[in-house]
A and B are shown apart, each in its own frame.
Chain A
Amino acid sequence: MTMKTSGRTASCVFAMGAAAVMLGTTAMANTNATTMTAEVILTGLQSPWDMALLDDGTMFFTEKCHGLSVRMPTGEVTPLLGMTGTEGYPETADDLFCEGQAGMQGVAIDPNFSENRQIYVYSTSSMTAPGTNRVLRMTVNEDFTGVSDRTDIVEDISYKPEASDQPFGGPGAHNGGRIRFGPEGFLWVTTGDIHGGTVPQSPTELGGKVLRIDTDGNAHPDNAAPEGFDDRIYTYGHRNVQGIAFHPETGAAITAEHGPWHSDEITVLENGGNAGWDPAPNTAGRGDCPSNYCGYEPNQFEGMNRYERAAYMPMTDLESYPDAMVPIWDNNGWSQGTSSAAFLEGSQWGAWEGALVVGIMGIGFGGTPIGQRIDVIELNEDASAVVDVTEMTLPIPSGRFRSVVSGPDGALYVAQDAGTIHKLMP
């Protein structure tokens, strides 16, 4: 068994100190910012995509083009399952590959892990041509040095196999990929529209959806998508969901979603609901579109006023779908790569306890502020509306915040695409 520890583990602690900048004077501006510290948990990673932690701090994590590894509480890192072409893993799965935005993405731990030692991974696979996304269930051995008993509990999540005439138009685009267990012990899976014009509203294709399944991949019996829909579907009409978290009081599933040059969204999901994204050509007053996908219209490649964009190609089309779920946040109309979501847990967060945090990865296209940050979003009591939004004052450099995860120790673990996972403590 190969152990990889050197160069990947560090323990630098940065204190913010008195130089921290207070953000505004709202109720959410609080003393957390002045005392927050950060510890580098792992660095030198290749596009870390997601993490899942056990109560003792053991952390499973994925790297998009490498595979699955585990960091033990001692800081020791052990590779578990590599993707095709990788080295240094005890086992490689040659059907697992990365391309563009796709690869090995979400990871989740079974609520009964102490008994069944099962974990779950979302990954792109070549096993079914021309490629699909799958949810893998695996058993972790007793000493955390390997995984076995791979069972693909979902095999047919849409994947984009070929390039198209769109921004970010390469294979693997809009690949979704977050998986999380909800409070009832069912697994939630978020997917993307794969630049497929008819995919999000399709009753049978699993792209542009949120699935709710059991640990064998069967539909939750109460899923209530319209008649004729795949019974694993909880909500549909999504663009590219990479964030999902569950309200600590109400249990409501809340998604964070990438917008199309405008309007990142946070949405409180309704069972069977339509998120209102429909980039199909010849729909809602639009005509033919490049590669039969209208998602970046009316102007794919130039900067343009975001509200004009939203009027022409809405993220949530309430005219075509009056019953669509209305987002509770739209990032002030900007699209900045809103990726992941988690709730801050524990009184150590002070006024931020119970607030939603989202990781944002902006690149600054066409005059859009870059916006690489973590936002702290306070919701009202029944999680039906946003009360306040505060940008977290970070004790680390900003970057592309791909994943935010609340740890069992009350810290917030954050992964940046550049290759680092930090532990943020209030």
Chain B
Amino acid sequence: MTDRLRIIVAGVALAVCAGATAATGTQAADLAAGEKRYNVNCVNCHGKAGQGMASFPALKGREAAYIAEKLQTYRAREMVGPNSAIMMSLSSDLTDEDIANLAAYIADRFQ
């Protein structure tokens, strides 16, 4: 399966999750969906434990609001740091729900 196809599949899965969340009328982030997206978009650089590696920063200890703000900035194609090119590419197709789920998952899992 290509990366693009994986992203599409993950996107469909997230859309389903998002739909289910909306149907229940709750705004709570979907941690499972966040984990799934993390394992597609993030794990190869930030690691399974969010520990960071090489020149890719650790995510441990980051607040959800910080993660969400950074992802929104990258999605808006604004330069943040030396890895902006990668982050712009990886965040380009994230929905608001994806970002909320990812931020919640990272903040919850990587304390």
Contacts and interface: CB of A to CB of B under 8 A. Distances in A.
Given A47-B53, A101-B54, A168-B55, A163 B82 contact: yes
B81 interface: yes
Given A47-B54, A417-B54, A419-B53, A301 B85 contact: yes
Contact of A418 (B2, B51, B83, B85): B51
Interface residues of B, number: 19
Given A367-B3, A400-B53, A400-B54, A418 B48 contact: yes
B82 A100 contact: yes
Contacts, number: 68
B93 to A, nearest CB: 12
B68 to A, nearest CB: 22
Nearest to A368: B3
A121 interface: no
A372 interface: yes
Q: For the complex, would chain A's binding face be called helix, strand, loop or mixed by DSSP majority?
A: loop
B88 interface: yes
A185 interface: no
A303 B2 CA distance: 14
Interface in B57-102: 81-86, 88-89
Given A169-B82, A418-B51, A366 B89 contact: yes
Contact of B51 (A173, A364, A419): A419
Interface residues of A, number: 32
B55 A100 contact: yes
A369 B48 CA distance: 19
A303 B82 contact: no
Contacts of B86: 167-168, 363, 365
A168 B3 contact: no
A47 B51 CA distance: 10
B50 to A, nearest CB: 11
A170 B84 CA distance: 10
A259 interface: no
A369 B54 CA distance: 19
Contacts of A170: 55, 81-83
Nearest to A168: B82
Contacts of A354: none
Interface string A355-377: 00000011111111110100000
A135 B12 CA distance: 51
Contacts of A303: 89
Given A370-B3, A370-B44, A372-B44, A365 B85 contact: yes
A301 B86 CA distance: 8
A300 B89 CA distance: 12
Nearest to B46: A418
Contact of A362 (B44, B51, B82, B88): B44
Interface string B13-55: 0000000000000000000000000000000110110010111
Interface in A402-418: 402, 417-418
Contacts of B51: 418-419
A176 interface: no
A121 B48 CA distance: 29
A88 B81 CA distance: 31
A335 B48 CA distance: 23
A399 B81 CA distance: 24
Contacts of B2: 367, 369
A100 B83 CA distance: 10
A419 B85 CA distance: 25
Interface string A285-314: 000000000000000111100000000000
B83 A168 contact: yes
A333 to B, nearest CB: 15
Most buried by B among A163, A168, A419: A168
- Closest 10 CB pairs between A and B? A170-B82, A417-B53, A167-B85, A301-B85, A100-B55, A169-B82, A364-B3, A418-B47, A417-B54, A101-B55
30 contacts: A64-B54, A100-B55, A101-B55, A167-B83, A167-B84, A167-B85, A168-B55, A168-B82, A168-B86, A170-B82, A173-B82, A301-B84, A301-B85, A301-B88, A301-B89, A303-B89, A362-B44, A364-B3, A364-B44, A367-B4, A368-B3, A370-B3, A372-B44, A400-B44, A400-B53, A417-B54, A418-B47, A418-B48, A418-B53, A419-B53
Interface of A: 47, 64, 100-101, 163, 166-170, 172-173, 300-303, 361-370, 372, 400, 402, 417-419
